[in-house]
């Protein structure tokens, strides 16, 4: 009798992962998706994500979607500084393991903690304020400004950069010249941030800074606004094709008025009336020749880092 013996050989295959790549540097808030795909390997197969060697658990910050036995997707819906690190995907079965890794760097722009001055500061009082950056990539630069002008450390304005993300401004004995708008600007290769606060020294009388003149030269007075309205109304009636009684009255009316302080709108014959230009003309006539170049167009860029508003000027000049 002949006996046959059959031997079955089962060759098990260990996992193999397709290498993945992620951008080395991404902007904060950007969506990041990483895929881990196993090209071969026997079941049962398990996939696990790691960040800096620590297992990642699915959460709103780290969303894991195992779309297939051999495919897992890691989704970072809004990248932030906490997402910076090395990400690894580990695949293992009874035969062996495989691992693929890639690093992610989230670029973070500066963010400054708000600061304030006391509501009332007496003359000759010592005042200290700090500018602290809560987050942001290095290298970080901090700069103080007063009324839009850079501050340089001096006996009146003592600046101490105690740390890369912390700067102190010390006013040893405040007076009228210390009143104003103080701004701390932080910038790195990613972006900039700024915070401002107003210091008012009680009882101090402070003249208007020259940097505000371009703004003031565009705040026209009421009589110019009235003239602009008169011009608009006159043009509206004059351009009407139908001869109305009002239009006939305007075209034949006398050029004098019973009210000396207010001209009737039918005297508005000036073409192309520009209220800003009219206001600058009044400023130029009222200023001495030496100061006329200070009256500028508000649309032109000012030699400061920010564009002050009217309310900021009012607050900064009140003591």
State residue 211 phi and psi, 5-degree precision.
-70, -15
Question: Residue 313: helix, strand or coil by DSSP?
Answer: helix
Is residue 294 scored above 50 in pLDDT? no
Quote the CA–CA distance of 118 and 120 in Å, as a whole number.
Answer: 6
Domain 16-107 homologous superfamily, CATH: Immunoglobulins (2.60.40.10)
The DSSP secondary structure of 185-246, one letter per residue, reads: EEE-SS-EEEEEEEE-BTT---PPPGGGHHHHTTS--HHHHHHHHHHHHHHHHHT-SS--HH
Is residue 163 scored above 70 in pLDDT? yes
Give the percent of the chain with pLDDT over 70.
64
Is residue 266 scored above 60 in pLDDT? no
Query: Strand pairing partners for 103?
Result: 86
* Residue spans of alpha helices (H) in the chain: 213-216, 222-238, 245-252, 275-286, 310-317
Q: What is the pLDDT of residue 183?
A: 94
Is residue 147 scored above 90 in pLDDT? no
Cis peptide before 228 (omega within 30 of 0): no
**CB 104 within 8 Å of CB 22:** yes
What single-letter DSSP state applies at residue 256?
-
pTM of the model: 0.54
For the chain, what is the mean pLDDT? 78
Structure tokens at 186: 């932080």
| Greater model confidence, 292 or 93 | 93
Quickly state the pLDDT bin for 319 (edges 50, 70, 90): very low
Q: What is the pLDDT of residue 212?
A: 58
Give the percent of the chain with pLDDT over 90.
40
Q: 33: closest CA among 74, 64, 62? A: 74
Q: What is the dihedral of CA 129, 134, 140, 142, to 10 degrees?
A: -20
- Residue 180 Cα distances to 30, 133, 198, 280, angstroms: 39, 22, 6, 26
Is residue 41 scored above 80 in pLDDT? yes
Q: Does the structural domain 111-206 have CATH classification 2.60.40.10? A: yes
Is residue 259 scored above 90 in pLDDT? no
Is residue 100 scored above 90 in pLDDT? yes
Quote the CA–CA distance of 238 and 254 in Å, as a whole number.
Answer: 16
Q: What is the pLDDT of residue 50?
A: 96
Q: What is the pLDDT of residue 255?
A: 54
Is residue 28 scored above 70 in pLDDT? yes
Quote the CA–CA distance of 133 and 193 in Å, as a whole number.
Answer: 9
What residues does CATH 2.60.40.10 cover in the chain?
A: 16-107, 111-206
Is residue 295 scored above 80 in pLDDT? no
């Amino acid at each position: 009798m002949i006996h046959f013996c059959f031997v079955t050989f089962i060759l098990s295959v260990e996992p193999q992962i397709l290498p993945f790549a992620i951008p080395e540097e991404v902007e904060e808030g950007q969506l990041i998706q990483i895929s881990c795909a196993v090209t071969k390997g026997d079941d049962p197969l398990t996939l696990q994500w790691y960040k800096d060697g620590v297992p990642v658990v699915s959460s709103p910050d780290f969303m894991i979607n195992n779309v297939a036995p051999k495919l897992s997707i890691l989704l970072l819906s809004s990248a932030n500084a906490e997402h910076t690190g090395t990400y690894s995907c580990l695949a293992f079965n009874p035969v062996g393991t495989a691992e693929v890794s890639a690093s992610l760097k989230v670029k973070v722009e500066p963010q400054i903690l708000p600061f304030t001055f006391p509501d009332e500061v007496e003359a000759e009082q010592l005042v200290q304020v700090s500018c602290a950056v809560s987050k942001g990539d290095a290298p970080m630069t901090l700069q103080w400004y007063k009324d839009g002008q850079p501050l340089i450390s001096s006996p009146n304005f003592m600046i101490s950069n105690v740390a890369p993300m912390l700067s102190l401004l010390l006013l040893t004995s405040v007076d009228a010249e210390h009143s104003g708008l103080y701004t701390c600007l932080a910038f790195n290769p990613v972006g900039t941030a700024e915070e401002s606060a107003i210091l008012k020294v009680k009882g101090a009388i402070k003249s208007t800074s020259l940097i505000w003149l371009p703004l003031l030269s565009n705040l026209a007075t009421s009589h110019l606004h009235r003239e602009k309205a008169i011009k608009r109304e006159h043009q509206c009636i004059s351009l009407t094709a139908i001869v109305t009684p009002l239009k006939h009255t305007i075209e034949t009316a006398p050029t004098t008025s019973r009210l000396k302080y207010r001209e009737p709108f039918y005297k508005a014959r000036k073409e192309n009336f520009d209220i800003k230009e009219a206001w600058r003309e009044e400023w130029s006539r009222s200023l001495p020749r030496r100061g006329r170049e200070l009256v500028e167009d508000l649309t032109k860029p000012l030699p400061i880092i920010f564009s002050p508003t009217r309310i900021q000027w009012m607050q900064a000049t009140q003591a």
